[in-house]
Amino acid sequence: MRRIFRFIALSVILIVTSRFVTYAQNTDARYPIIPYPQYLRPGNGAFVITSKTLIITPDATTFKNEAGQLNQALSKSMGSSLAISHQVAAKAAVILKYDAAIATAEGYSLTITPQQVIIAAKEPAGIFLGIETIRQLLPADIETGTHHTSLSLPAVVILDQPAYAWRGMHLDVSRHFFSITYLKKYIDLLALYKMNKLHLHLTDDQGWRIEIKKYPKLTEEGAWRTFNKQDSACMKQAVDNPDMVIDPAHIIHRDGKTLYGGFYTQQEMKDLVAYALAKHIDIIPEIDMPGHMMAAINAYPFLTCNGENSWGELFTKPICPCNETTFEFAENVFAEIMEIFPSKYIHIGGDEVDRTDWGKSEACKALMAKEGIKDLPALQSYFINRMEKYFNAHGRKMIGWDEVLEGGVTPTAMIMYWRSWVPNAPVKAVKNGNQVVMAPGSPLYFDGKYDKNSASNVYHFNPIPKGLTKEEAKLIVGAQAQLWTEYVPTEQRADYMFMPRMTALAELLWTNDVSKYDSYKKRIVKQFPRLDELKVNYRLPDLDGMIDSKVFVKTDTITVAKPMESMTIRYSNDGSLPTATSPVLNKYVVDKPQTLKIAAFTPAGRRGDVYTSTYKQQNYAAPVASEAKNGLLVYYYPGDFKGTTKIPEAKSDKVYTVNGITVPVEVKAPAFGLRYSGYLNVPQQGVYTFYLTCDDAGVLKIDNQLTIDNDGMHSAVEKSGQAAMQKGLHPFLLNFVEGGGGYTLKLQYSFNGSAPKDVPADWFKN
């Protein structure tokens, strides 16, 4: 597969017409399509679809499925299906036309004039994608069947094709289980935004979710568990958020125990695969091994080297690659998996393997000696490479998470890159000849907390890592976002976590044009009514300018701009969560310390994220010194601290001077704490706002006051706080913890309403 195929017709038309077509101000409103087409020329007038309109296909079989999909999209609101014909008649028609000149399988052209609509493509996938474009040009209420006797499609010429071949979403159905109905909804949303791969993470320590006839205990036992630590965390959050309640649909009572779980029968999954294929989406099954196999091991203990089924130091103990019975099991399982899933790709996982027990096993020692396997990563490669041969022998390609590179992997495997903290892994894979799907934790783990930058970070993600030639970059086949579900116990929560940020990924992977970001922000708002019709619990837009910890000297007047005209901003100041009947926030004067909770509400009463701002009264703090040296001191504490309060109090003898909040090059430990200490030299009196983004934990103190609390082990999240200061030097302390797995650390400030910017180096003193 290759990235960006420019077909000649498209290039020529682009060159000839682009000078004459100005990007009209109202184009976003008239054609609010996501992902935006590669080429769009607005037209005059509209084509009107009525019950008399024909759908014309080349013959009885070509594009039959696509004609059916078009009818499905229209018939709910038209009340009946449009007739299908194979003769181009004078009558108004939507013509699905074969066009050999379109160079890519997913490429299509769409020409809408008042007389007719033509979708042309070489492959059914292209026609289908053209239909999804048409769907987005029709009123949102066609989705639920509001009756229309006619539907108007704005005239336009579109020439379109994707920049990347792999446009993927992942869903972890192991940690929490999701119904087939929900998987269909998920597939529908992928199709609506022209994504084309659904990666199902079907098995993990917390549950085996696919029926395997040869090993019935995998689902009889392995699909069910008692509540775990993550469930408890969800239950705690459920007090404030009903989306975090463990879904009662997946709770059963058996032998006096309350169990959580579920699984898909092979037939259910085959039906789902067919449903997805009709929408030109491949389902890629992942059976994660040799690690993450506790659910299987509990049911079949022979799978480990020593029969134990406990946790290792970081991960659960893996299955044993040194017994033939393990291969027999794995091959039998994958034989059934390949029967269910026709996908060219089969994902074997291969991530996060605790290999300690392999090193202690006599069987492994013997195998390593016999095969000349030099170490435990190479032993993992032995397992992975043997399984790859099995897949290849059945005409399939293997995918593995990027750890499979560690002990060496064949160039024929596809690598899924997720470990943001190993930036050279995708480069190494490409240099080895492997195709790579970019799926890095930052910014593509959609289980990570949202902040106001989440969608922008996705939109501006560059799938091509540094260090590749143009030719090598062709091995980067695309990207994928992951939705791990340890803390996603309901379908509503899943919707919220991946929508609407998936649309930013969809547009990135289709258009690969970051200059469209401002236009995207306008178009996404136009998509919301359709998502409302589809009952998608998408996250509502952020409120601008919200600060977590505010200070005021005398009073402060708060106004909050509505993110959408139709929304209402409401607040509470008694600790309760704002509701659709809470007071409306217009101008609110703060004249005493308090905590405000603020949220935007849609006309239907749906609440956006609740923002909590605490207000403290402060006088402008006086400077504490008149002279100091340049730079901050930063004390380095290698070690695994679970939060900033765990960093030792004593000064470390590993101390460096820095001119900004950067991690010194000397810091090499995978997990560490840093204490930045000195003064902040501010140039004038005022209330300063600071923004601290960190992964994992960070706490900022200015003038010995807690300014920002971004403590706790989490993915990159921005928190903000204020300090009232007189001109001069103020005590500055920033504690930061990286717990392993890659860090983010950024401090910015704003003053008098300026946009956030980096703190100047000459403000840092010691």
Residues identified as active-site? 204, 292, 352
352 binds ligand ACM (CB under 6 A): yes
Nearest approach, Cβ of 68 to ligand ACM (angstroms)? 37
Token pair listed for 638:
């290698």
Q: Which is nearer to ligand ACM, 313 or 324 (CB)?
A: 313
User: Which CB sits closer to ligand ACM, 292 or 597?
Assistant: 292
Return the structure tokens found at 84: 């299908």
Q: Are 498 and 240 a contacting pair, CB within 8 Å?
A: no
| Number of residues binding to ligand ACM, judged by CB under 6 A | 4
Burial environment of residue 592 by CB neighbours within 10 A (0 to 12, 13 to 18, 19 or more): exposed
| For ligand ACM, the closer CB: 31 or 401 | 401
Q: How far apart are CA 126 and CA 121, in angstroms?
A: 5
Token duo for residue 24: 């009209």
CB atoms within 10 A of CB 162: 27
- Contact set for ligand ACM, span 361-420 (CB under 6 A): 401, 418
Q: How far is residue 303's CA from residue 361's CA, in Å, rounded to a whole number?
A: 13
What is 386-430 written as a DSSP string? HHHHHHHHTT-EEEEEGGGGTT---TTSEEEE--TT-TTHHHHHH
Nearer CB in complex with ligand ACM: 193/418: 418
Structure tokens given for 270: 């085959």
Can you tell me the distance from the alpha carbon of 451 to that of 348, in angstroms, rounded to the nearest whole number?
32
x/- mask, ligand ACM, residues 82-121, rule CB under 6 A, reads ----------------------------------------
Closest to ligand ACM by CB, 352 or 513 = 352
Signed CA dihedral, 124, 130, 136, 138: sign only? negative
Find, among 335, 317, 395, 380, the residue nearest to 210 by Cα.
335
Tell me which amino acid residue 139 is. P
Give least dist CB 441 to ligand ACM, A: 7
User: Which token pair is 677?
Assistant: 């200490």
Nearest to 155 by CA among 17, 285, 44, 41: 44
> Is residue 446 a contact point for ligand ACM (CB under 6 A)?
no
Min dist. Cβ of residue 438 to ligand ACM (A): 13
Minimum separation from the CB atom of position 439 to ligand ACM (A)? 8
Q: DSSP assignment of 118-172, as one string?
A: EEEESSHHHHHHHHHHHHHHS-GGGGTT---SEEEEEEEEEEE--S-SEEEEEEE
Burial class (CB in 10 A: 0-12, 13-18, 19+), 632: buried
Nearest CA among 573, 574, 679, 670 for reference residue 625:
679
Of 203 and 572, CB closest to ligand ACM: 203
By CB under 6 A, residue 351 contacts ligand ACM: yes
Identify which of residues 351 and 388 has a Cβ nearer to ligand ACM in the complex. Answer: 351
Report, in Å, the least distance between residue 401 CB and ligand ACM: 5
Q: Which residue number, 349 or 698, has a Cβ lying nearer to ligand ACM?
A: 349
Q: Which residues bind ligand ACM (CB under 6 A)?
A: 351-352, 401, 418
